[in-house]
A and B are shown apart, each in its own frame.
Chain A
Amino acid sequence: MTELQYVWQVTAAGLGTGLLYGLVGIGFAVVFNVSGIINLAQGEFSMLGAMLTLFGIKTLGLPLLLAAVLAIAAVTSLGIVFERVCINPKKAFSIQAAIIITLGAAIFIRGGAMIAWGKDHHSLPAFSGQGSARVLGAAVPFQTLWIVGVTAVVIALLAWWFRNTLFGLAMRSCADNRLGAQFVGVNVRTMVTASFAMSATLGAIAGIVAAPLTFVWYEGGLVLGIKGFVAAILGGSGTYLGPVVGGLVLGVLESLSAGYISSTYKDSIAFGLLILIMAVRPTGLLARPR
C-alpha cells in the first residue's frame, strides 16, 4: 500500500463515520432552529429506530423496508406524543426546562429499551451485504454508500420543505424570530411539535442506516447523540448542510489522528482541534454570523 493509498483509505473511513455523525446532527439542527431547544434525546430516537427495525425483522418477520418504515412511523409518533405531553403543556415556555425534559426522556427511553430488549448488543444486517466497494482504491463499505444516499435525499427533501411549502416557511419564520412569527399568525407551538416530529423521523432514519455499522443496543444512542451534537455545533445549525460538514470534519480528524499521530490520544486530538475551530469560528463553520 502506497502512502497516498493509505492516506486516502484513512480519510475515507473518517468520511464514512463523519457522515453518520452529520446525519444525526441534522436532527439536532431542526429542533434547535425552530424552538431553540437542544433535544438531548436525539440519539435515543436513533437507537429506538434501529431497535424497532430489528424487532420488526427478527420478531415479526417483516422485510427490511417495511420494518424500517414502521419503525420510523413509530418513532415519529413518539416524538409527537413526547412533545405534546411533556413540553407543550408547560405554560411558560422555558428553553432550559425543555432541555432538561429531553434529558429525562433520553434516560427514560434508554431504560425502557433495556427492559424491552435486554442489555445485549444486536446487529442489523447490512442492506446490501457486508462487502465494500472500491472508491478510488479505498474500501468503502456498501452500508456507507447507503448512508451517503440517504443523507443526500434527506438534505434535498429538507431544502425543498423549508423553501417551498407554507408549513416549512412557517417553521423557518420561527427559527428567525419567534415573536415576529407569532405576530403574523404562525402557531409557534404547532411548529415546535412539528420540529420534534421531524427530528424524531430524522433520528430514526439515521439510526436505521447506521445500525449495520454501529450495532444496536440500549445505550447506543449515547455516543451517536454526543457526536451528532458536536457535528451540529461545529458545522453550524443554520443550514442543513452545516451538521454534515461538521460531522465530516470531526470524522476525518478522528480518523487521521488515529492513523497518523496516536490511536491512544485520537479523541483528545480531535476534540482539541474542535475547540480551536470553535474559538476561531464560534458560530460554526458554515453559519453566517447574525
Chain B
Amino acid sequence: MNMLARAAAAVLLIAGLGSSAQAADPIKIGFIGAITGYGSFLGDPEVKAAKLRVKMINAAGGINGRPVELLIHDSEGSPEKAVLAMKRLITQDKVTAVVGPDLSSTVRAVMPLVEESKVISFVMTPVIKPPSGSYVFGIYPIQEYAYEAELIWLKKKGLTKLGVLASTDTTGQEGVKFLRELAGKHGITLAVENFNLQDVDVTPQLLTLQRGGAQAIMAAMSGKPFAVVAKGMKQLNMKTPLLASTGAVTKTLGELISGIEPEVLIAPTLKVMVAEQLPDTDENKPAIMELIKSFRQEYKEESDLYTAAGWDATEMVLKAYAAAGPDATKMRDWLEKMPRYVGAVCTVTMQPTDHHGCGPEGYVLVQFKNGKFVLEK
C-alpha cells in the first residue's frame, strides 16, 4: 500500500512536472521580411519593432503565461526565399501564425501555400487585398486609398495629366493597375513609363513623359529608385510636382535627396511619420507615441511607418493567438470580427470582407519642405 502510494505520488509528480514544463513552452510565431537586400529599408525596421514588441510582451509575462518566441526568416526580398521560409515555418516549426512577408512580390508568392496550409499570415504591404475567408490579413490601409488621396490633390490643384514612372516589379505594376482604375473617376489622364529598380538613370523615361505633356510626375517606388527619379528631374530642370508612393516617406529620404529636392514633393504617408504634428485629439497619437518612445529607448533610432507596421502586425497576431490560438482557423474567425483596435498604423476594424480594416483616413498627405515632412491640411 505504501509502495503504491509512493508510486502514485511519483507519477503525479512527473505528470505535474511535465505539464508545468509544457506551460513554459514558448509560443512560436514566425516572421518573414526583406531584412536585407533592396527591401531592407522596410524589412529591417519591421523586424526590429516585432522583436521589441515580443520582448515587451514577454517581460510582462507573455501570452497566457507562456513566453513568445519569434522565429525570424530573411526573405532578402526574393519570392523564392520567402516561400522556402514559409514552408520551413509550417512544416518544421509548426507555427500557426506568421508576421509577414512584406514586399508584395513575396506576399503573392507565399499566398497559395498559406491558404493551403491554413496558417495566419499577417502581411505588411498595402497592395494586396486578401479575399474573404483568406488566412491572409494585412496591416496598412490599402494602396488605393493613398493614390486616391493624391488624385484628389491633383484635381484640387487643377492638374489633369499625370505621368507615372513605375518599377517593373509587382509593387510598381500593382500601383499602375490601381491608378488606371481610379484616374478616370477623378478626370485625370495617365501616361505610364516603366523602369528597372537597379537603373541609375531614368531621364529617357522622364523626357517621354515630359513630351507627353505631364503636369505632375508620380514615382511609384521608394528608397534609392525614388531618389534616382528626383535626380533625373533635377538634371532635366523639370519643375512639375513629384508625387511619391507611400513607401517613399522614410527617415532617410531627406539625406538621400539632399541637393536634388523637387520643387514640390507630395507623398501620402501614415500618421506615425508626422506624429508630432498630429493634433492631440488624434486617437492614434497615444499608440504612436508609445511606439516612438519604446523604439528610441531600445535602438536609439527613430520610428517610421515600417516600425509601426511590424509593431501592430505582431500585436494583432498575438492578440488573436491569445484569444483563439493555436488553431489558425479560429484565429482567422476571431480576427475577422476583431474588436476595434487603435494601433500605431491606423485604427483597425476588420470585416470578413476587409482583411485590412483601415479606412482612407489612415493616410495623410505630407509635403517635403526643407528636409521635413509638413502635414498638408
B256 at the interface (CB under 8 A from A): yes
B195 at the interface (CB under 8 A from A): yes
**B-side contacts of A131, CB under 8 Å:** 234
Size range of the interface on A? 35 or more
Most buried by A among B195, B203, B205, B255: B203
B residues 249-298 touching A (CB-CB < 8 Å): 252, 255-260
B207 at the interface (CB under 8 A from A): yes
The answer to whether A139 touches B235, judged by C-beta atoms less than 8 angstroms apart, is yes
B357 at the interface (CB under 8 A from A): no
The answer to whether A20 touches B227, judged by C-beta atoms less than 8 angstroms apart, is no
The answer to whether B223 touches A121, judged by C-beta atoms less than 8 angstroms apart, is yes
Of all chain B residues, which has the CB nearest A258?
Answer: B204
Of all chain B residues, which has the CB nearest A13?
Answer: B203
B residues 191-237 touching A (CB-CB < 8 Å): 193-196, 198, 200-205, 207-208, 210-211, 223-224, 227-228, 231, 234-237
Most buried by B among A17, A114, A122, A263: A263
The answer to whether B203 touches A123, judged by C-beta atoms less than 8 angstroms apart, is no
**A-side contacts of B259, CB under 8 Å:** 123, 125-126, 129-130
Report A186 CB to chain B, min CB distance, Å: 39
Of all chain A residues, which has the CB nearest B238?
Answer: A139
Of all chain A residues, which has the CB nearest B203?
Answer: A13
Report A219 CB to chain B, min CB distance, Å: 7
Per-position binary interface string of chain A over residues 1-24, scored 1 when its CB falls under 8 Å from any chain B CB and 0 otherwise? 100001001100110110010000
Question: How many angstroms from the CA of A215 to the CA of B38 in the assembled complex?
Answer: 13
Report A223 CB to chain B, min CB distance, Å: 5
**A-side contacts of B351, CB under 8 Å:** none
Of all chain B residues, which has the CB nearest A223?
Answer: B198
Report A3 CB to chain B, min CB distance, Å: 10
**A-side contacts of B37, CB under 8 Å:** 219
Q: Which of A13, A119, A125 contacts B41 (CB 8 A)?
A: A119
**A-side contacts of B203, CB under 8 Å:** 9-10, 13, 255
The answer to whether B200 touches A214, judged by C-beta atoms less than 8 angstroms apart, is yes
The answer to whether B255 touches A123, judged by C-beta atoms less than 8 angstroms apart, is yes
Question: How many angstroms from the CA of A58 to the CA of B163 in the assembled complex?
Answer: 36
Q: Which of B36, B196, B227, B235 contacts A141 (CB 8 A)?
A: B235
Question: How many angstroms from the CA of A10 to the CA of B232 in the assembled complex?
Answer: 12
Report B18 CB to chain A, min CB distance, Å: 43
The answer to whether A123 touches B36, judged by C-beta atoms less than 8 angstroms apart, is no
The answer to whether B195 touches A125, judged by C-beta atoms less than 8 angstroms apart, is no
The answer to whether B201 touches A255, judged by C-beta atoms less than 8 angstroms apart, is yes
Question: How many angstroms from the CA of A132 to the CA of B236 in the assembled complex?
Answer: 8
**B-side contacts of A114, CB under 8 Å:** 36
The answer to whether B256 touches A10, judged by C-beta atoms less than 8 angstroms apart, is no
Most buried by A among B210, B224, B258: B224
Q: Which of B36, B204, B227 contacts A13 (CB 8 A)?
A: B204
The answer to whether A119 touches B40, judged by C-beta atoms less than 8 angstroms apart, is yes
A196 at the interface (CB under 8 A from B): no
The answer to whether A263 touches B194, judged by C-beta atoms less than 8 angstroms apart, is yes
**A-side contacts of B208, CB under 8 Å:** 259, 263
Q: Which of B168, B202, B234 contacts A264 (CB 8 A)?
A: B168
B44 at the interface (CB under 8 A from A): yes
The answer to whether A132 touches B207, judged by C-beta atoms less than 8 angstroms apart, is no
The answer to whether A17 touches B201, judged by C-beta atoms less than 8 angstroms apart, is yes
Question: How many angstroms from the CA of A279 to the CA of B300 in the assembled complex?
Answer: 56
Per-position binary interface string of chain A over residues 235-258, scored 1 when its CB falls under 8 Å from any chain B CB and 0 otherwise? 000000000000000000001101
The answer to whether B236 touches A215, judged by C-beta atoms less than 8 angstroms apart, is no
**B-side contacts of A123, CB under 8 Å:** 227, 255-259
**B-side contacts of A126, CB under 8 Å:** 259
The answer to whether B200 touches A17, judged by C-beta atoms less than 8 angstroms apart, is yes
A45 at the interface (CB under 8 A from B): no
Report A15 CB to chain B, min CB distance, Å: 11
The answer to whether A255 touches B36, judged by C-beta atoms less than 8 angstroms apart, is no
Given the known interface contacts A6-B207, A10-B203, A125-B258, the answer about A258 and B195 at a Cβ–Cβ threshold of 8 Å is yes
Question: How many angstroms from the CA of A114 to the CA of B41 in the assembled complex?
Answer: 12
**A-side contacts of B235, CB under 8 Å:** 130, 132, 139-141
**A-side contacts of B237, CB under 8 Å:** 132, 139
The answer to whether A213 touches B200, judged by C-beta atoms less than 8 angstroms apart, is yes
A residues 116-145 touching B (CB-CB < 8 Å): 119-123, 125-126, 129-132, 139-141
The answer to whether B211 touches A1, judged by C-beta atoms less than 8 angstroms apart, is yes
**B-side contacts of A130, CB under 8 Å:** 231, 234-235, 259-260
Of all chain B residues, which has the CB nearest A256?
Answer: B204
Q: Report which B residues bind A (CB closer than 8 A).
A: 36-38, 40-41, 44, 168, 193-196, 198, 200-205, 207-208, 210-211, 223-224, 227-228, 231, 234-237, 252, 255-260
Q: Report which A residues bind B (CB closer than 8 A).
A: 1, 6, 9-10, 13-14, 16-17, 20, 114, 119-123, 125-126, 129-132, 139-141, 210, 213-215, 217, 219, 223, 255-256, 258-259, 262-264, 266-267
